[in-house]
């Protein structure tokens, strides 16, 4: 099913509000740990930064699978990259016809995953700034 009919009946202000909420909640806050880690890797690695960014999580997942026969780390990455659980921390999870009734900013702002991720992002950003200052111009 297409989501386009939900947008056609909304006033312009409500569409802007939903778009602003989506941009701030998902693209700024939820994915901040991923972007901060990639920034840290890019400031640390002199060459093949993509390899240094991709190999450690892949290696951790493989070692966890071999050693413990679990996939908790892969599930954590899937949860973070996929935007949360099945219903997501951004929605109420209900099936209603009103698009604005699905927004749950309070639920999003009190989720521990958000705050743990933001703390991790702050640590990564501080380390990236420190590394770039120490390294100086190339």
CA nearest neighbour of 117 among 88, 93, 92, 81: 81
Q: Is residue 7 part of a domain?
A: no
pLDDT at 6: 58
97-134 confidence digits (pLDDT tens): 444 445 566 777 788 888 898 999 999 999 999 998 88
7-49 confidence digits (pLDDT tens): 666 676 777 777 777 777 777 888 889 999 999 999 988 888 8
Q: Is residue 38 part of a domain?
A: yes
Q: Is residue 1 part of a domain?
A: no
Domain that holds residue 116: 33-84+105-130
Q: Is residue 19 part of a domain?
A: no
Total domains present in the chain: 1
Residue 133's alpha-carbon distances to 33, 52, 81, 114, 123, in angstroms, are: 21, 20, 30, 28, 15
Q: Is residue 23 part of a domain?
A: no
Coil, strand, or helix at residue 63?
Answer: helix
Q: Is residue 73 part of a domain?
A: yes
Q: Is residue 90 part of a domain?
A: no
Q: Is residue 10 part of a domain?
A: no
pTM of the model: 0.69
């Amino acid at each position: 099913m297409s989501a386009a009919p939900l947008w056609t009946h909304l006033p312009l202000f409500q569409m802007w509000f939903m778009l602003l909420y989506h941009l701030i909640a998902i693209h700024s806050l939820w994915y901040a740990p991923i972007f901060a880690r990639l920034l840290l890797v890019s400031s640390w690695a002199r060459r093949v930064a993509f390899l240094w960014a991709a190999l450690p999580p892949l290696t951790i997942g493989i070692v966890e699978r071999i050693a413990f026969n679990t996939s908790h780390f892969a599930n954590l990455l899937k949860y973070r990259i996929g935007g949360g659980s099945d219903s997501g921390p951004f929605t109420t999870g209900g099936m209603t016809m009103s698009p604005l009734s699905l927004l749950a900013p309070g639920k999003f702002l009190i989720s521990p995953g958000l705050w743990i991720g933001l703390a991790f992002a702050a640590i990564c950003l501080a380390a990236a700034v420190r590394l770039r200052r120490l390294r100086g111009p190339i």
